[in-house]
Structures are given as structure tokens and as C-alpha cells.
Amino acid sequence: MRKHKFLTGKHILFAGAFILIFIGITIFTFTYRRDEHLFTQVSSQLFREKMSGNTLSMHYTVAYPHDFGIYDYDAILPCYNPESRLAGQAQAENMIALLNSINSSKLTQQDRYTHTLLLNYLDNSLSLSTYPYYEEPLSPSSGMQSQLPILLAEYTFRTMQDVEDYLMLLDQTDEYFASLLLFEQEKAAAGLLMSASSLDKVLEQCETILSKTELAEGTHFLQTTFIDRLQELYDDGVVTKEEALKFISQNDRLLTTVMQPAYEALYDGLFILSDDAVPLEGLAAKPEGTTYYEYLLISETGSYRPVSEVKDMLIAKFDEEYQIMRDLVTMDPSLSISSYGAVVDSLFPYQDATQMLTDLQQQMRNDFPSLPDSETLPSVSVKAVTDSLAEYCAPAFYLTTPLDDTSANVIYINEQYSSSGLDLYTTLAHEGYPGHMYQSVYSNRTMLSQDENQARQILWYGGYQEGWAVYVEFIAFDYASNLMNVQNRSDLAQYIQLEKHSRSMQLCLYSLIDIMIHYENASYEQIKYLLNNMGITNESSVYAVYEYIVEEPANYLKYYLGYLEILELKEEAADLWGDSYTDYAFHTFILDCGPSDFDTLRSCLMSAEIPGTTGTALERPATTALPIPGSKNLSLTALSPK
């Protein structure tokens, strides 16, 4: 017979006490971890909302949305309307208030870092949003009229859903461009329409990017790349032949009946707005342009330094680079011979992009950490920019891969710039190893393996990313010098060093011109005077520099100020870590922190463990060559027009 055990009064009292203790512990745990739970909930919701509201962005951020809690969504191209802009401002204000209510000291170290980044990012984004019509989504150099076709051409097909989403996005291009036209109409009404010369270039792009002739012949890159991507799905058995043919027919129909007419409608609407009286001038010439520029500079570079301090940094760096170049030429006057460049290219040991990327990987191995999950090496395809887009694209660019699929990477080279030899080598360093591709894959794999807060994927830090790419590009010049020394050509090695400092000086000069135009209201004549004194006297070259910087405010600073901020951090790390400092440790620190603004990175550096102790550890800009300096001492301060 089974015996039953009954609770006595003593047992009941004990059980009651246990229950009360358990409830107390639960309440204490929930209260103590309230901030942690709330931050996780808020940041995850923010991530999902941002992804669900922009399918194109989501596709380039995550390969498999279901793995990130995104299940039911409609494929959407986010269209502009005044109501959504105001709603976005209100949402940002509410999110800032909510984040401020969270006690960050009770968060994990990783979440505390993300909390700081989010607050900084949202605060500056909100400030920028109060000047909506100073933004230019149809810039001749980086506007969506030229960027959208590239993003669509590289839209990876992994599943049937990807193809269906892609076609739904194509079907919305008419609404998308119509919303951009509405924005331009509002800009014009506010007296902030782009210049007549810039608008003329955009009109030309609208006419040529989606050619009716190419579409009729089936040779447009949005047709050929679509078939290539479908072929891979067919080979893998994801789609049948009948399904593939149906998708190809739909793609052709949408390109000819929706997207191509959308470009025509955009052209017609912009043509009506065009006004020859609108001058080509910087932000400083506009009513609140200088204030907007201050916020734009923070947004583009991630640096919170005042503009005056940035300018002082640039002037000091310019003088330093000029002096280095002058000393090199003084030691060996033959370096100024222009034919040296051709000799370097002809003797450069690698002419093929694949060989160059392999060499760069070998050269960097002692100073940079291996990629996480190094057994699964990412593939890299180097492609030429299609002829129909070459005129409007940067010399080179890298398309970032999703957080959860870093296996296949693409670098585009614009052959209109005739990149080869040394130039191609340093370009591939900027875009590939140890530049954008390496940094992007490292960051994604690290964040995924450490279960980093997903909200970081919606934050963009151009200064961190482009500053890193410029920083490692200059290191690649040193690698190239080593290659020449191996061939016993020390003269060519020195010439490469001269080229390195010349490029640095060019980027520095153009960054200064950016401030002069957009913050100090310098005119074309003043910029022309400055460039003429620098030896750039060709009228078309001078105007091209001025025009590009006017159309792309803070762009050069995104590269060069980002680079200078990394150099500053490097010096601070060397001081803090003393004998424990190595370049390898510094690079690991920067990469492990991931994309960030520089104030937050600096705070992280100050609290980081010294290496060796126990504890926690995207486009290459074109330049116009400056003449090789001679014996004349040249100071930018003296050249600045009054």
C-alpha cells in the first residue's frame, strides 16, 4: 500500500515562507533587471520597425529576416511625405525620452555602449531633421537616381521570397521617385532647390541610366544581372524553369512599364522646376546653412569637435604633409620626374586584382587580427562599373554584406579612372583588405557571435568606416614600398612614399575647402585663387573640385577627419598602454568596438584594459593631383584667401 505524505502545519508555514521568499527574489530580480529588459525590448523593437519599413535596407542588413524576429512584412520602398517626416521627428523624441529613462549603469557593458551610441545618434538625427530641405537625395554624385539601380542589380537572391520582394520593390519605383519629386518641389518652394548646373546633371542621368534601347534589346544590366541571379537559384533547385521564365517576364515588364516611365516622370517634374538663376554655392550661403553644416559634420564624420578645431587640425596636418614631401624631394630631386609613376606601374609585381588582394592579406597578417571564423574565408568578386553608370560613380566602392551572410563580397572598380598598378593596389586596400570588406566582415561576424544588440545595425558611422579605409590605404602605400625594395628599387619605394603623402595632402586640402565653402561662404573665385596657388591652374579641374565639394558637403571630411580621429586615438592608445602598445592591439581594439562615433570610442579607450592583461578587451574619393613641391616653403595659412 502506497503511503501518502501530508504537510503538517509546520510544513505549511515553511512552504509559505519559501513562496514569499521566491516571490521576493523574483520581484527583486525583475526590478533590478528592469532597465536591462526594457532596453532590450525597446532597441529590438526599434530594429524591427526600421527593417520592416525599408525592405531594401533590410535586405542589405540581414539575409534571413526570420532569424531576427521579422516574420510578416510587406516589401516596401520608403516613400517621402511631409506627414511621415513629422511622425519620424516625434518618434525620435519619444525614443530619446525612453532611453533617458533607462539607468545605463544597470545594463551590461555591451548594452551600455549601444545605449550611448543610440542616444548620440538619435539626438543628432533629430537636430538634423529640423533642417529637412538642406538634404539632397538626388545629388548628381550620390543621389538615389544613380544609387538605386546599383542596389537593385546587387540584390542577392537566396530564396524565392527574395525574388518576389525584389519584383515588388521594382513595382514601387514610380511611387518612390514621385515622392522624391515631391520633396524637390517642397525644397524649391522653400528657396533651397539645387543649383541649375547640378540639376542639369541629374536630368541627364534620368535620361540615360535606364535606356529604352537597352531595355528593348534585353541588354540593360538590370535585365542581365537579374537572369544571372535567377540562374543560380535554378541551378540550386530553388526555382523551376517555368518559374524562372515567369520572373524574367515580370522583370522586363516592370522595367519597361514602371521604372523607365518613373525616370521619365522624374525628369519632367525636375525640368519644370529647373531655374537657371539658382547659383552653385555652399551651405553657408543659405539662411541656416552653417548651423545645419555643424550637425551634418557630426552625422557624416562621427566627430563632435567644433568646426574651428577641425580646421586647425587640418591646417596642421597639411603643413606636416607638405614638409614631408618637401624633405623627400630635397633628398632626391629626381622624385619629381613625372615618368616615375609609369615606371612604378610597369614594375609593380601584381597587375591582377585577385593577386593584389592575396598579397594584401599576406602583408597585413602581423598587424591586424584574423577574421572571426577564419576557417570560412569570404569570397571577393571585383567587378567593373557598368558603362551606363560609370560617369556618375566613384572611382571604386564596396557593397556591404548582411550581418548573417558575409560569404560573398563585391568590390566595384570604375574603369573610367583607368586604375592599375599602384593605384589599383591601394584602391583594393581601401575597399577590400584591410579596408571596407575586411572591417565589415570582421564587425558583422564579431557582433553576430557575441549576440550584440541588433539596434547597432541601424546606426551608420561614415567617419569610422571611411576613416578606417583611408588609414589602411596609407598603410598599403607602405606595403607597396616594401614590394619595390624587394626588387632593389629604393628610388621607386621613395616615390611611392611621396605619392602617399601627396594623396594625404590632397584629401586634407579638399577637406579644408569643404569648410571654407560650406561654413565660411568662400566663393568660386576664392577657391580658384587657392587652388591656383597650389599649382592647380587648369580651369576645368578647378571648377570640378569646387562643383563636387558644393554638391557633396562634408564628404571629404567623412574620409579625412575620420582618418585624423583614428590617428588621434592611436596616439592616445600608445600613451595609455605604454610598452604594451602594438599596432595589432590598437587595430583589434578599433575593430572589436565596431562602428561608433569618436567620442564614444574615446571613452571606451579610456576604460579599456591594457593589452596583455586580463580583462575585456564604403567609396574611395577622387582627387586632382597636386604638383610635387619644390624648395619653396608653402603654408596653407598663407594661401587662404582674405
Task: Indicate whether 264 and 299 sit together in one domain.
Answer: no
How far apart are the C-alpha atoms of 461 and 444, rounded to whole Å?
14
623 falls in which pLDDT band (50, 70, 90)?
low
At residue 168, the 3 state secondary structure works out as helix
Q: What is the mean pLDDT of the segment spanning 79-89? A: 88
pLDDT at residue 335, as a whole number: 85
* Residue range 7-36: mean pLDDT, rounded: 49
Task: Output the pLDDT for position 622.
Answer: 59
Instruction: Say if residue 179 is in the same domain as residue 151.
Output: yes
**For residue 222, pLDDT beyond 60:** yes
Q: Are the CB atoms for 469 and 436 separated by under 8 Å?
A: yes
DSSP per-residue codes, 251-266 = HHHHIIIIIHHHHHHH
Domain closes at, from 247, 279, 311: 279
Residues 243 and 309 in one domain: no
Grid cell listed for 155: 540584390
Q: DSSP of 225-260, one letter per residue?
A: HHHHHHHHHHHTTSS-HHHHHHHHHHHHHHIIIIIH
Q: 179-182 long-range CB contacts below 8 Å, 24 or more apart?
A: 179/79, 179/80, 179/81, 180/80, 180/137, 180/138, 180/144, 180/266, 181/265, 181/266, 181/269, 181/270, 182/80, 182/81
Opening angle at CA 312, ends 308 and 315, nearest 5: 135
Confidence of residue 5 (pLDDT cuts 50, 70, 90): very low
Q: Which pLDDT belongs to residue 10? A: 39
- Phi/psi for 620 (5° steps) reads -95, 120
Pick the more confident residue, 641 or 385: 385
Residues 267 and 206: their CA atoms lie apart, in Å, by 6
Residue 27: inside a domain, yes or no?
no
Same domain for 313 and 166: no
pLDDT higher than threshold 60 for residue 20: no
Q: What is the pLDDT of residue 608?
A: 74
For the chain, percent of residues with pLDDT exceeding 70: 89
Q: Are residues 236 and 364 in the same domain?
A: no
381 shares a domain with 424: yes
Are the C-beta atoms of residues 629 and 322 closer than 8 Å to each other? yes
| pLDDT at residue 87, rounded to an integer | 87
- Give pLDDT, residue 127: 95
Q: What does residue 54 show for φ and ψ, rounded to 5 degrees? A: -155, 90
Over residues 356-366, the pLDDT tens digits come to 999 999 999 99
Does any domain span residue 155? yes
Please, which pLDDT band fits residue 614 given cuts at 50, 70 and 90?
Answer: very low
Task: Show the cell assigned to 623.
Answer: 582627387
Helix pair angle (9-32, 34-52), 10° resolution: 50
Cα–Cα distance measured from residue 620 to residue 555, given in angstroms and rounded to the nearest whole number:
11
Q: In the prediction, which pLDDT does 611 show? A: 60
Give domain status of residue 397, yes or no.
Answer: yes
Which range of residues forms the domain containing residue 382? 292-639
Find the mean pLDDT for residues 56-63. 94
Asked if pLDDT for residue 417 goes beyond 90, the answer is no
CB 347 within 8 A of CB 489: yes
pLDDT band at 84 (very low <50, low <70, confident <90, very high): confident
- Percentage of the chain with pLDDT > 90? 75
Query: Within a domain: residue 128?
Result: no
Across the beta sheet with 408-413, what order do the strands follow?
A: 379-384, 408-413, 396-399, 619-620
User: Which pLDDT value is given to residue 418?
Assistant: 65
Assess whether 263 and 316 both reside in one domain.
no
Average predicted confidence (pLDDT) for the chain: 88
Q: How many CB atoms lie within 10 A of CB 29?
A: 10
Same domain, residue pair 302 and 257: no
Is residue 544 predicted with pLDDT exceeding 80?
yes
Measured torsion, CA atoms of residues 298, 300, 303, 304, in degrees rounded to the nearest 10: 0
Q: Give the containing element (helix H, strand E) for 620.
A: strand 619-620
State the pLDDT at residue 114. Answer: 94
- Strand partners of residue 399: 410
Average pLDDT estimate for 470-478: 98
pLDDT digits (tens, 9 = 90+) for 481-528: 999 999 999 999 999 999 999 999 999 999 999 999 999 999 999 999
Query: How many other C-beta atoms are found inside a 10 Å radius of the C-beta of residue 204?
Result: 14
Q: Output helix, strand, coil percentages for the chain, rounded to the nearest 5.
A: 70, 5, 30
The neighbour count for residue 87, using CB atoms within 10 Å, is: 11
Asked whether the CA dihedral 309, 314, 320, 323 is positive or negative, the reply is: negative
> Does residue 386 register a pLDDT over 90?
no
User: E-strand spans in 338-475?
Assistant: 379-384, 396-399, 408-413
User: Are 412 and 397 within 8 A, CB to CB?
Assistant: yes
Per-residue confidence (pLDDT) for residue 559, from 0 to 100: 97
Which of the listed residues 248, 279, 310 is the one where a domain comes to its end? 279
**pLDDT at residue 635, rounded to an integer:** 31
Cis peptide before 78 (omega within 30 of 0): no
Residues 537 and 391 in one domain: yes
Report if residue 632 sits inside a domain.
Answer: yes
The span from the CA of 536 to the CA of 522, in Å, is: 18
Calpha distance 449→151 (Å, rounded): 27
**Angular region, 594: left φ>0, alpha ψ -120 to 50, beta rest:** left
Is residue 31 included in any domain, yes or no? no
Q: Mean pLDDT across the stretch 250-273? A: 98
Does 553 have pLDDT greater than 70? yes
Q: Mean pLDDT over residues 190-198, rounded? A: 97
What number of other Cβ atoms are within 10 A of residue 256's Cβ?
16
Most confident segment among 26-40, 82-96, 139-153, 179-193 = 179-193
pTM, two decimals, is 0.89
- Please say whether the beta carbons of 622 and 631 come within 8 A: no
- Shared domain for 351 and 402, answered yes or no, is yes
DSSP-based three-state secondary structure for 359: helix
pLDDT for the residue 641: 29
Residue 35 counted as domain residue? no
Residue 304: alpha-carbon gap to chain centroid: 18
Domain count, the chain: 2
Positive or negative, the CA dihedral 157, 162, 163, 168 is negative
In a shared domain, residues 268 and 320 = no
Q: Minimum mean pLDDT among 44-58, 255-269, 607-621: which range?
A: 607-621
Is 158 among the domain residues?
yes
- pLDDT digit string, tens, across residues 554-568: 999 999 999 999 999
3-state secondary structure 454-486: HHHHHCCCHHHHHHHHHHHHHHHHHHHHHHHHH
| Mean pLDDT confidence for 52-75 | 93
What is the predicted pLDDT for the residue at 617? 30
| Co-location of 336 and 473 in the same domain | yes
Q: Name the domain boundary from 254, 279, 304.
A: 279
Structure confidence at residue 610 (pLDDT): 62
Note whether 280 and 550 are within 8 A (CB): yes
Burial class (CB in 10 A: 0-12, 13-18, 19+), 353: buried
